[in-house]
Amino acid sequence: MVKHGQEIIRDFVNKLDNSPGVYRMLDNQARVLYVGKARSLKARVSNYARNSGHSARIARMISETADMMFLTTETETEALLLEQNLIKQLKPRYNVLLRDDKSFPNILVTRGHTFPQIKKHRGAKSENGDYYGPFASASAVNKSLNQLQRIFMLRDCSDATFETRTRPCLQFQIRRCSAPCVGNISERDYAGAVKNAQNFLNGRTKEIQEALAKEMQIASEKMEFEKAAGLRDRIRALTHIQSSQGINPKGVNQADVIGLYMDGAHACIQVFFIRGNQNWGNSDFYPRINADNSHEEILEAFIGQFYGNKEVPKQLILSHNVENSDLLENFLTKKSGYKVEIIIPQRGEKLELISGALRNARESLGRKLEQSATQKKLLKGLGETFNLQEMPTRIEVYDNSHIQGTHAVGAMIVAGPEGMEKNEYRKFNIKNENFMPGDDVGMMKEVISRRFKRLVEEDPDRNLGKWPDLVLIDGGAGQISVVNETMKSIGISDVSIVGVAKGLDRDQGKEEFYRPGLPKFALKRNDPVLYFIQRLRDEAHRFAIGAHRAKRVKQIVSSPLDGISGIGSKRKKALLSHFGSGKAVKRASLADLKVVDGISNAMAEKIYDFFNEKS
């Protein structure tokens, strides 16, 4: 007889020691039910072997356990890190899971140039420069960049654009840039503006105001009234920014304020980013939880997963106590290289910050639950309309975009109970170059084939939640027939497929729906399900067009010289200045290439050979 539940757990307890580590509980199909850490594996797992004292969720998890896996670590901190990595990777059913693990933008002040550039940056911090952030959203960082440009007039153009300017751009005309590209400001004065901008981002605004006021006074005394007026406007802009920001904590220089609000089996975590005594925006998160999860264990899981791939501030200000706070502090301190402090405030300014985060979390969760109820009602209606056995929880919508077959791109969007799942969107560069112009059916066949062959390879047992319950295709009978044949050739026959085509005169509202082997049909114009399908199709169309335009623009701005090693911006500029275009360089003779300034004989031969195959 196969053992399971407490019986199998007791067998493992006898083989464990008191080492720290991570354990995994698996069901009878080897799917991971739960990942946990322990200061002592033997003591922690022994708790599951008890006959009573478990919550309904834990008791259910124990009863489903058919196997366990263990990894020992040298320290408890390593166990915490390993636990959170495994949770993010495996997404076990009984763990608290942070589903939205998005990155946040920063402001970058570049180095290595006489006149540094200021710009928005997202992703790995591989570029040489000083980074300031994170900001909660692109709009928050764009707002701060606009403010910085109004006050300090730093350039935001690329180095390549900077090097080719012969006259000031529009940014100079609207007083957002000091035009260093044409020598309108000295290197020393520009460096001073850069330093002031960095002081502003570090919260030292009082010093900047005093410096600008002093500079304005000197300009007035020298009767340089235009310069003085410009400085006055910059001081006013700085004052306006300080007065308009909602939260500017005087006693908190660098912290994340984290408030958790729960309503049954739903939770919202609100995070405010405080940097340089300034509020750089807030973002909300909706982790997957169970009704019996405590505030303490939810916050511990959130912090471990959230900061796994993000920079940590010097303080975390929390709304509730957190499990293993000492372990978390050690983990975050080790990760960041400086002391990180976890604070649960009881009074004063920090408590006011937490109160604001909790209020935002409560209001955000209320809106989310209202939207979710509406979304589930629409999904249920969609399932009934297309005779699905259950309410669909993952819908994939496909569309193509091209111009007479050129720059062809396929697109997939995903929707579910939480709305549009944008982190699941995918684009497909059409690889088959033999399609006739406008062959939408052939393009759709390629996209579906690539998508589902990969899905079969990566998740054959359908355990990862990536298989759709419903596939919507932008197209009619032709597309549906090809998609159905393609799916069958891969060995898939249990995924519902529906084609959405414009009806008579391509009038929106008269859409016709096609399903394999069934007659087409339409819905009433005022049917909420019809509006929902239109929104899904329009979102797929928007995403496909965006991907197509990006591909087209990339090809337009590319140069034939980009593929030649050793051709940097200076040599490219010299060649384009001499010949006028990349195509002219391609047609140039070896003798013509050798006379270009900055192009050696060896480089000329390399360029010529690149464009002219030797027989």
Could you report the per-residue pLDDT of 533-558, keeping only the tens digit for each?
999 999 999 999 988 888 776 665 56
Helix (H, G, I), strand (E, B) or coil at 229: helix
What is the crossing angle of helices 187-201 and 205-221, to 10°? 150
Tokens of 315: 């303080």
Tokens at 300, concatenated = 């511990």
Count how many Cα atoms sit within 13 Å of the Cα of residue 551 in the half-sphere of its side chain.
20
Contacts of 224 (CB under 8 A, 6+ apart): none
Residues composing the chain? 615
195-to-135, 146, 189 alpha-carbon distances in Å = 20, 17, 10
Q: Would you identify the CATH topology of the domain 254-366?
A: Nucleotidyltransferase; domain 5 (3.30.420)
For helices 440-458 and 477-490, the axis angle rounded to 10 degrees is 30
The answer to whether residues 313 and 336 touch, using CB atoms and an 8 Å cutoff, is no
Furthest C-alpha separation in the chain: 98
According to DSSP, residue 562 is labeled: G
Distance separating alpha carbons of residues 259 and 246, to the nearest angstrom: 17
> How far apart, in whole angstroms, are the C-alpha atoms of residue 101 and residue 99?
6
- DSSP β-bridge partners for residue 376: none
Numbered ranges of CATH 3.30.420.340 in the chain: 395-555
End-to-end CA distance of the chain: 75
Over its C-alpha atoms, the chain yields an Rg (Å, rounded) of 30
Report pLDDT for 268: 95
Q: Which residue has the tokens 């802009």?
A: 237
Q: At what angle do helices 225-244 and 205-221 cross, to 10 degrees?
A: 160
CATH 1.10.3720.10 fits 395-555, yes or no: no
Distance, in Å, from the CA atom of 321 to the CA atom of 343, rounded to the nearest integer, reads 9
* Strand blocks (E) in 335-393: 341-343
Please give the DSSP secondary-structure letter assigned to residue 288.
B
Find where tokens 């009878």 sit.
Answer: 28
One-letter identity of residue 180: P
Q: Which residues of the chain have pLDDT under 50?
A: 244-246, 615
How high is the pLDDT of residue 232?
75
The answer as to CATH 3.40.1440.10 being correct for domain 6-90 is: yes
What the block records as the tokens of 170 is 């529009």
**72: amino acid identity, one letter:** T
Give the pLDDT of residue 244.
47
337 to each of 330, 340, 386, 542, how far by Cα in Å? 10, 9, 56, 44
Residue pair 18/69 in contact by the 8 Å Cβ criterion: no
Give me the numbers of helices (H) and strands (E) for the chain, helices first please.
Answer: 20, 19
Show Cβ contacts of residue 404 under 8 Å, excluding neighbours closer than 6 positions: 437, 438
Instruction: Map residue 166 onto helix, strand or coil.
Output: coil
Contact 597, 554 (CB under 8 A): no
What letter would DSSP give residue 392? -
DSSP β-bridge partners for residue 69: 24
Q: What is the pTM for the complete model shown?
A: 0.73
The CA distances from residue 352 to 269, 326, 349, 424, in Å, are 17, 25, 5, 37
Beta-strand runs (E) in 276-328: 278-285, 315-318
3-state SS, one letter per residue, for 24-89: EEECCCCCEEEEEEECCHHHHHHHHCCCCCCCHHHHHHHHHCCEEEEEECCCHHHHHHHHHHHHHH
Query: Which residue(s) pair with 473 in the sheet?
Result: 398, 499
The number of angstroms, rounded, from the C-alpha of 87 to the middle of its chain's C-alpha atoms is 19
**Per-residue confidence (pLDDT) for residue 615, from 0 to 100:** 40
List, edge to edge, every strand of the sheet that includes 254-263: 278-285, 266-275, 254-263, 315-318, 341-343
For 577-615, the pLDDT digits (tens) are 787 777 778 888 888 898 888 888 888 888 888 887 654
For residue 480, the SS3 value is: helix
**How far, in Å, CA of 141 to CA of 211, rounded?**
25
pLDDT of amino acid 33: 94
Domain(s) of CATH 1.10.150.20: residues in the chain? 560-611
Per-residue confidence (pLDDT) for residue 163, from 0 to 100:
87
Distance of alpha carbon 384 from the chain centroid: 34
DSSP state letter for 97: B
DSSP reduced 3-state for 474: strand
The domain covering 560-611 belongs, at the CATH homologous superfamily level, to 5' to 3' exonuclease, C-terminal subdomain (1.10.150.20)
Helix (H) / strand (E) containing 520: strand 518-522
CA dihedral of residues 80, 83, 89, 94 (deg, nearest 10): -130
Q: Which residues contact 22 (CB under 8 A, 6 or more apart)?
A: 35, 36, 37, 38, 70, 71, 73, 79, 82, 83, 86
Region(s) of the chain under CATH 3.40.1440.10: 6-90
Which whole-number Å values give the CA distances from 133 to 105, 250, 494, 518, in the listed order?
Answer: 7, 18, 47, 55
- Which residues on neighbouring strands pair with residue 406, listed in sequence order? 403
pLDDT for 539: 94
Residue of 228, 289, 247 whose CA lies nearest to 264: 289
Residue 474 CB-half CA count within 13 A: 24
Contact 65, 33 (CB under 8 A): yes
In 3D, which of 548, 467, 540 has the Cα closest to residue 500?
540
pLDDT at 567: 81
| Residue that the structure tokens 């003591």 belong to | 43
Angle 484-426-499 (CA atoms, 0-180°, nearest 5)? 30
